[in-house]
Amino acid sequence: MIDTHCHIDFEDYDKDRDEVINRAKNKLDVVINSGIGYESNQGVLELCNQYEGFLYPSFGYHPVSSQNCSDEELKQTHKHLIDNINNIVAIGEVGMDYFYVKDKALREKQREIFLTFIEIANDYKVPLLMHVRDCEKKALNIVLDYDDIPYVIFHCFSGSLKTAKRIMEHDNYYMSFSTMLCYSKAHQDLIREISLDNVLTETDSPYLAITKETRNEPANVVNAVKKIAEIQNTDINTVDEITTRNACEVFKI
């Protein structure tokens, strides 16, 4: 079982990070920690080095923070990413967020920054791990223009079934489902229709806890796997086996 997207580098875990990681180790094979900007990426790398073989890094630039980003900062993030291209399992999270960002000019800036990371994923043939919210179809149309991105992942996919069906036409495109499945009717309806061949699992910890007041953690990905099995009328082992195999293939772990 694999948590393909979380943020255990966040300060939410400063007091008990080791315990959180050990609880994850008891239940999971691998955890992927996504960076959200230059400093965050470096912190993620250092943390992953401490837990080599269990915790793996992806380097990104969160679309919501990209609206305050200077050219200098972006350049620095690109250079750092390229310097570490062999140390990471994916580029992400990067993408576009139309839920938090309504302003047209800022959305355009998000798109431009997103494109710079797509170019790197395409040039260096690294999986692209995307944060896309309320613009899934747009993001899909953008990435479809690039032939050399080995794998595309919609982290915490919340798009329409129509877009999901288009995603499923591509063997190397994946939708990741989180612990949100435990309470979100929209996600439950969606996963019913999705082939496990295109599914990954995640928690997005510390976010998306099963009860909204508590902090989420990677070990809880078990709850997402259980929920998928329940909704798809299959057993947990089957869901575990397929989604773990998918993640191992995508991230080469």
Give the interface with Zn ion as residue ranges (CB under 5 A).
204
Q: Closest distance between Zn ion and the C-beta of residue 34, in Å?
A: 5
Q: For residues 204 and 240, which CB has a smaller minimum distance to Zn ion in the complex? A: 204
Q: Closest distance between Zn ion and the C-beta of residue 44, in Å?
A: 11
Residue in this structure with the two tokens 């996919």, named with its chain if needed: 157
Amino acid at 121: A
Q: For residues 131 and 227, which CB has a smaller minimum distance to Zn ion in the complex? A: 131
Q: For residues 10 and 124, which CB has a smaller minimum distance to Zn ion in the complex? A: 10
8-state DSSP, 204 = -
Secondary structure of 32-77 as H, E, C letters: EEECCCHHHHHHHHHHHHHCCCCEEEEECCCCCHHHHCCHHHHHHH
CA distance 71 to 88: 23
- Spatial neighbors of 6 by CB under 8 A, at least 6 apart, are 31, 32, 33, 34, 202, 203, 204, 205, 206, 216, 217, 218
Q: Closest distance between Zn ion and the C-beta of residue 147, in Å?
A: 27
Q: Closest distance between Zn ion and the C-beta of residue 106, in Å?
A: 19
Sign (positive or negative) of CA dihedral 162, 167, 171, 174? negative
Q: Closest distance between Zn ion and the C-beta of residue 88, in Å?
A: 15
- Spatial neighbors of 250 by CB under 8 A, at least 6 apart, are 4, 90, 127, 151, 153, 174, 200
Q: Closest distance between Zn ion and the C-beta of residue 176, in Å?
A: 10
Angle between helices 38-50 and 71-83 (to 10 degrees): 20
Q: For residues 3 and 204, which CB has a smaller minimum distance to Zn ion in the complex? A: 204
Task: Give the residue at shortest CB distance from Zn ion.
Answer: 204
Q: For residues 104 and 212, which CB has a smaller minimum distance to Zn ion in the complex? A: 212
Q: For residues 63 and 199, which CB has a smaller minimum distance to Zn ion in the complex? A: 63
